[in-house]
Amino acid sequence: MRELRVFELDEPEQPVSLRAGYGQSVKVIEGRVWVTVEGCVADFWLQPGEVFALAEGERFWLSGEGGPARFALSAVSAPLSWRRLAAWLRVLAHRWGEWKTDAFGECPRLGVR
């Protein structure tokens, strides 16, 4: 499955900062778009129809040149990764901790002593 969002940069020369998710790319629909990627020494100028692929977790800035610019930000569904699995396990561990303790943080003791 692919998610597609269309944005319009209505203030020329005013950059917008985003962080890339898994499998994201920028495709210019209208106008000229300037792309800066954190840690990259080069900037990129994209014309309508051009696509720029982004690495997961990258911080990047987009800006239009001159008039308004429109672009589509698309992403594919992420497969199960180790990071997602670790986050899921943390949630389960937290829920397990809430389940086995009472309001004061002590486990209720039932049975033989």
| Mean per-residue pLDDT over the chain, rounded | 80
Per-residue model confidence (pLDDT) at position 39: 86
Domain ranges of the chain: 2-76
Residues 85 and 16: their CA atoms lie apart, in Å, by 31
Per-residue model confidence (pLDDT) at position 85: 78
Split at pLDDT 50, 70, 90, the class of 111 is low
> What average pLDDT does this structure show over 74-99?
74
- Quote the percentage of the chain above a pLDDT of 90: 23
CB 50 within 8 A of CB 27: yes
Homologous superfamily, domain 2-76: Jelly Rolls (2.60.120.10)
